[in-house]
Amino acid sequence: MTKIAMKTPIVEMNGDEMTRVLWVWVKDKLLKPYVDLETEYYDLGLEHRDDTDDKVTMDAAAATKRLGVAVKCATITPNAERVKEYTLKTQWKSPNGTIRAALDGTVFRKPILASNITPSIISWKKPIIVGRHAYGDVYKNAEIAVPGPGKGELVFTGADGKQQRVLIQEFKGPGILQGIHNTEQSIRSFAKSCFTYALDEKVDMWFATKDTISKIYDQTFKLLFQDEFDKGYRDKFTAAGIQYFYTLIDDVVARVVKGDGGMLWACKNYDGDVMSDMVASAFGSLAMMTSVLVSPDGCFEYEAAHGTVQKHYYKHLKGEKTSTNSMALIFAWTGAMRKRGEIDTLPELVAFADRLEQASLKTITDGVMTGDLARLATPPAKQVVGSEEFLDAIAARLKE
């Protein structure tokens, strides 16, 4: 059998712990037998990040900008314990944060649905994709604990020295104050990434803020989105048969819960943080949630939404059997291969990505699944399998 050839390499970023173990199995059992896999490899495992003073993460981000498509394994974001565990030179920053900053991107999370895994909200039939703005607002705030009576004011001093001053509150006693910001450039990038993604997935896009209450801050988000849409996307949306619509955040929450899914829900930073956790848990398992970072100029980095599954890795190291679900990792690879195939006009590579996704889903609908899904399945699972057995079961179906 001749293997499927590629034209341009995919940027491959390896990672840590249990997902690093699964990474090799996914490639060896599911990809390499069928595809002449061409990747530009970056080892983002914590030891190598430490060895290179984290230069490898910066190089991987630059490669993603150059080649346009990347796939990433989960990586450890070191905390104080990890610094000791791996005897690190310093507490390196989150690789995802570094890559996101370099690509100026927005993160989109999309659940993988299987017919025998029932969402908690039974009307949900199609994926709800959450796009979260990853800059500013409450995540970059300034706060004051107000000790007692006094005046809270918002002051802006322009580069020319001119000031604008607004009274926030005359305090009669103790209280709290908070200052937040965003930038026009970041909001425009966020809008463009969302419109690009909706076109890519051919799904409607919903965006919501609280502009009736926040008449400058949230209103600006609404107006900039509309401006970007009118300037660059209206015709493309019409051609693709999809819609963009804006509404209030409370209205959109009600619509999402009552609806059947199948849209991109663009969220401001805080809304996206909270709502993506709600959507992920209502759909079932973290291991069924994919994630892609899209830059405003159209670079794509695919990964699983979950972490390195540390607890399973420690079991694996002790030689105990694990039942780790590799679905989101597989779909990160298929997402990257499909995108590479579309850009390079390689229909065979696109078709292979589809086949691998179907074989993976069929394994689950056949009743063969890992422990995390077995808890949620109706009818009950026929076979609860280990990490490697699950991949073998997919490989067998892919062969068929």
Least distance to Mg ion, CB of residue 273, Å: 4
- Between 182 and 193, name the residue whose CB sits nearer to ligand NAP: 193
Q: Which is nearer to ligand NAP, 6 or 112 (CB)?
A: 112
Minimum gap (Å) between residue 262 Cβ and ligand NAP: 25
Chosen from Mg ion, ligand NAP, none, partner binding at 273 (C-beta under 5 to 8 Å by type): Mg ion
- Report the run of H or E that residue 4 belongs to, with start and end: none
309 vs 384 by CB, closer to ligand NAP: 309
Half-sphere exposure of 6 (CA within 13 A, CB side): 24
d(CA 71, CA 339): 11
Under the rule (CB under 5 A), what is the footprint of Mg ion? Answer: 273, 277
Closest approach, Cβ 386 to ligand NAP, in A, equals: 11
- Strand 204-209 to strand 244-248: parallel, antiparallel, or no bridges (unpaired)? parallel
Based on CB atoms, which residue is closest to ligand NAP, 218 or 303?
303
Q: Which does 277 bind (CB under 5 to 8 A by kind): Mg ion, ligand NAP, none?
A: Mg ion
Q: Which residue's C-beta sits nearest to ligand NAP?
A: 307
Q: What, of ligand NAP, Mg ion, none, does residue 134 touch, CB below 5 to 8 Å by kind? A: none
- Tell me the residue number closest to Mg ion, measured at CB: 273
**Tokens 């150059």 sit on residue:** 66
Q: Among residues 273 and 389, whose Cβ is nearest to Mg ion?
A: 273
Q: What DSSP character marks residue 68? A: S
CB-nearer residue toward ligand NAP: 209 or 290: 290
Cα dihedral value 340, 341, 342, 348, nearest 10? -170
Measured from the CB atom, the residue of 52 and 77 that comes closer to ligand NAP is 77
| Shortest distance (Å) from residue 372 CB to ligand NAP | 4
Closest CA to 55 of 64, 67, 65, 43: 43
Long-range Cβ contact pairs of 218-227 (< 8 A, separation 24 or more): 218/268, 220/182, 220/184, 220/187, 221/182, 221/187, 221/268, 222/246, 224/184, 224/187, 224/188, 224/191, 225/187, 225/191, 225/194, 225/266
Name the minimum Å distance from CB 325 to ligand NAP: 4
Of the pair 96, 269, the CB lying nearest ligand NAP is at 96
By a kind-dependent CB cut-off of 5 to 8 A, residue 107 interacts, out of Mg ion, ligand NAP, none, with none
Partner from ligand NAP, Mg ion, none binding residue 301, C-beta < 5-8 Å depending on class: none
Give contact residues for ligand NAP (rule: CB under 6 A): 74-77, 96, 286-287, 303, 306-311, 324-325, 370, 372
Residue 284 contacts residue 325 (beta carbons within 8 Å): no
User: Which residues face 373 on adjacent strands?
Assistant: none
Cβ atoms of 260 and 123 within 8 Å: the answer is yes
CA-derived radius of gyration, the chain: 23
- In the complex, least distance from residue 370 CB atom to ligand NAP, rounded to whole angstroms: 6
Closest approach of ligand NAP to the CB of residue 76, in Å: 4
Least distance (Å) between residue 43 CB and ligand NAP: 14
229 contacts 245 by C-beta, under 8 angstroms: no
C-alpha angle 186-190-193 in degrees, rounded to nearest 5: 135
DSSP assignment letter at 311: H
Q: Which does 325 bind (CB under 5 to 8 A by kind): Mg ion, ligand NAP, none?
A: ligand NAP
Asked if 396 contacts 333 with a C-beta cutoff of 8 angstroms, the reply is no
Among Mg ion, ligand NAP, none, the one that 186 touches (CB under a kind-dependent 5 to 8 A) is none
CB 384 within 8 A of CB 369: yes
CB of 59 to ligand NAP, least distance (A): 17
Our CB check for ligand NAP shows the closer of 182 and 322 to be: 322
